[in-house]
A and B are shown apart, each in its own frame.
Chain A
C-alpha cells in the first residue's frame, strides 16, 4: 500500500477523503466562474431585446464597463491556475487532451449511467471522464474565441474592416451559445442531478470521499494511491 500517513484506517470507510483539487485549482475555478457569470449577465443586456432597459444610456455604459473589467478577470483565471499550481495545470491539460479507449467506453455507457445510475458497464475513469474532457476542450476553444473576438470588439473598431468586426460579434455570440449550454449542463450535474451531487464538494473543500472517487474516477484513484499522499479522515 501507499506510504500515506493517513493509511491508518478511519473509523468509517466512508469518511476517507481524497484530495481532488488543490487550492490553486479551486481559486482559478471560482475566479473563472465569477468572471463568466458577470460577462454573461452584462453581455445579455446587449444580446436580448427584452433586457433593453439595462442597455440604455449610462446604465448600458456601466454594464459595458463591468463587462470589460470581468473580461480582464476572465483572462487572468488561467494564469492564476498556471502560476499557483503549474503541476496540476499541465497534468489537467494533458489529461483533458488525451483520449483513450476508456473515453469510448464512457460514451457507450453514459446513457445508462446518467439515467439509471447503471455503473456496471462504466469503465473506471481518470481524473476527468469523457464528458468532462469534452467540457474542458470546449472551454479551451471558446476561451480563445472569446479573447480574440472580444479584444477585436474592444480595440478593433475602425481598425479592422466592418466585416471582421461584425464577424467577431457573431463568433462571440456563438461562443456564448456553446458555453451557456454547457454551463447549464454543468450546474445541473453538480447541483441538481440526483446521482452526481457529491462532486461539488471537490470544488469547495478540495476533497471527495474515497467511495465517490472509486465509483466515478477509479483509474485516477488508483494512480493517486501509488503517487501522492492525498488522503485523510474527515474528522482530522
Chain B
C-alpha cells in the first residue's frame, strides 16, 4: 500500500478553525479556558488536549499585506525523532505512513516531547513528583484512518483546504497548485514537507516562505538526540563487554599464578624475591 498523507493548502484556508473543533469533537477533548492576548489564535499553543490548531500570521510582501493561516499539528516525519527515543514503542510508524500513538503503552517519560524538532508532543503531567504523565499528539485520527475513513479535520474543512489520500498523488496536486499560484502572482508559493526529515506525512502548499508561517526552514533531527541513540547506547554495551572480558582474562591469569605459586612454595620458596 502506498503511503497516505494529508495536504494542507494555505491558499484555500479561511481560518475558520473547524478542523481544530472537529479534532476536539472526535477525540472528546475538553476545551481549555483561554484569555484574549491580542490574536485570533486560541489557544496560543498546542496542549495535551489540543492536538490541532490554526495559527495566524501577518505578512507583508511587495507592499501588500497578507493574513496567513496554517492548520498545525504533528507532521508525521519519516525520520521521526519521537519514534526513535520512545522507550516503550507507544510511538510507532504505521504502515499507512503516519506516526501512531498508543496511549496505554506510554509510561510518561516525556523524551518525545524533548526530541521532536517541531515541539509537537505534549505531556499531560498528572503528578510532577511521581512523574506520572501521558504524551499526546495528532495521530491523523489513527482509529479512523486504519478503518478507511479520512481524519476528522479533513472531513470537516469547509473550503476543502485539507485533503487526505495517497502521498504521491497529493504531491503532484500540490506542485500543480503551486504552479498555478505562481502564475497568479504568488511568486513565493511553494510546497513544504516533500523532503524535510525524509518527507513529511503532512504536506503544505504555502503562499509565502515557511518562516512567514513560523515553520522551520530546514528542520533537523537533533545531533544530540542522534548521538544519544546511535553512540551513547552502543558505547554502554561495549564498555560492559570490554570490562567483563578484561576481568575474565585477569581471573585466568591470577588463578594460574596462584597455582604455580603454591607449587613453587614447596621445592623452592625463593622463586619470587629478586630484590
**A interface list, Cβ under 8 A from B:** 45-47, 49, 52, 55-61, 63-65, 68, 114-118, 120-121, 154-155, 157-158, 162-163, 165-167, 169-170, 173-174, 176-177, 180-181, 184-185, 188, 192-195
Within the complex, what minimum Cβ distance (angstroms) separates B168 from chain A?
A: 32
Bound together, the chains give a CA A158 to CA B123 distance in angstroms of: 9
8 Å CB interface, B220-275 against A: 222, 224-225, 227-228, 232-233, 235-236, 239-240, 242-244, 247, 250-251, 253-255, 257-258, 261, 272-275
Q: Are B132 and A115 in touch, CB under 8 angstroms?
A: no
Q: Are B243 and A194 in touch, CB under 8 angstroms?
A: no
Task: Report chain B residues within 8 Å CB of A157.
Answer: 110, 113-114, 123
Q: Are A184 and B254 in touch, CB under 8 angstroms?
A: no
Bound together, the chains give a CA A48 to CA B87 distance in angstroms of: 8
The reply on B115 being an interface residue by CB < 8 A is yes
The count of chain B contact residues (Cβ–Cβ below 8 Å) is 49
8 Å CB interface, B107-138 against A: 107-111, 113-115, 119, 123, 128-132
Q: Are A57 and B228 in touch, CB under 8 angstroms?
A: no
Q: Are A57 and B240 in touch, CB under 8 angstroms?
A: no
Bound together, the chains give a CA A184 to CA B243 distance in angstroms of: 7
8 Å CB interface, B68-101 against A: 87-90
The answer to whether A170 and B227 touch (CB under 8 A), given A52-B89, A61-B132, A115-B253, is yes
Q: Are B275 and A56 in touch, CB under 8 angstroms?
A: no
Q: Are A117 and B131 in touch, CB under 8 angstroms?
A: no
The answer to whether A117 and B250 touch (CB under 8 A), given A64-B131, A184-B243, is no
Within the complex, what minimum Cβ distance (angstroms) separates B107 from chain A?
A: 3
The reply on B22 being an interface residue by CB < 8 A is no
Task: Report chain B residues within 8 Å CB of A115.
Answer: 250, 253-254, 257
A169: nearest chain-B partner, CB-CB: B228
Q: Are B257 and A166 in touch, CB under 8 angstroms?
A: no
Q: Are A155 and B128 in touch, CB under 8 angstroms?
A: yes
Q: Are B131 and A65 in touch, CB under 8 angstroms?
A: yes
Q: Are B244 and A184 in touch, CB under 8 angstroms?
A: yes
Q: Are A194 and B255 in touch, CB under 8 angstroms?
A: yes
Within the complex, what minimum Cβ distance (angstroms) separates A151 from chain B?
A: 12
Q: Are B233 and A194 in touch, CB under 8 angstroms?
A: no
Within the complex, what minimum Cβ distance (angstroms) separates A153 from chain B?
A: 8
Which among B129, B233, B254, B272 has the highest number of chain A CB atoms within 10 Å?
A: B254
Within the complex, what minimum Cβ distance (angstroms) separates B115 from chain A?
A: 7
Within the complex, what minimum Cβ distance (angstroms) separates A116 from chain B?
A: 4
**B interface list, Cβ under 8 A from A:** 87-90, 104-111, 113-115, 119, 123, 128-132, 222, 224-225, 227-228, 232-233, 235-236, 239-240, 242-244, 247, 250-251, 253-255, 257-258, 261, 272-275
A interface: dominant SS = helix
Q: Are A57 and B106 in touch, CB under 8 angstroms?
A: yes
A58: nearest chain-B partner, CB-CB: B107
Bound together, the chains give a CA A63 to CA B131 distance in angstroms of: 11
Bound together, the chains give a CA A117 to CA B259 distance in angstroms of: 11
B116: nearest chain-A partner, CB-CB: A162
Task: Report chain B residues within 8 Å CB of A195.
Answer: 254, 258
B254: nearest chain-A partner, CB-CB: A194
The answer to whether A177 and B239 touch (CB under 8 A), given A188-B247, A195-B254, is yes
Task: Report chain B residues within 8 Å CB of A174.
Answer: 232
Bound together, the chains give a CA A194 to CA B253 distance in angstroms of: 10
Task: Report chain B residues within 8 Å CB of A117.
Answer: 254, 257-258, 261
Q: Are A166 and B114 in touch, CB under 8 angstroms?
A: yes
Q: Are B224 and A167 in touch, CB under 8 angstroms?
A: yes
Can you list 21 pairs linking A and B with CB atoms under 8 Å apart?
A: A47-B233, A52-B88, A55-B87, A55-B107, A57-B104, A61-B108, A63-B107, A64-B108, A65-B132, A68-B131, A114-B254, A120-B273, A155-B128, A157-B113, A158-B113, A162-B115, A166-B225, A170-B228, A192-B247, A194-B255, A194-B258
The answer to whether A60 and B107 touch (CB under 8 A), given A55-B87, A180-B239, is yes
Bound together, the chains give a CA A34 to CA B194 distance in angstroms of: 52
Task: Report chain B residues within 8 Å CB of A57.
Answer: 88, 104-107
Q: Are B123 and A64 in touch, CB under 8 angstroms?
A: no
Task: Report chain A residues within 8 Å CB of B132.
Answer: 61, 65
Bound together, the chains give a CA A154 to CA B272 distance in angstroms of: 56
Q: Are A55 and B247 in touch, CB under 8 angstroms?
A: no
Given contact pairs A162-B115, A170-B227, enumerate 6 new A-B contacts (beta carbons under 8 Å). Answer: A157-B110, A162-B222, A166-B228, A177-B236, A185-B247, A194-B251
Task: Report chain A residues within 8 Å CB of B111.
Answer: 169
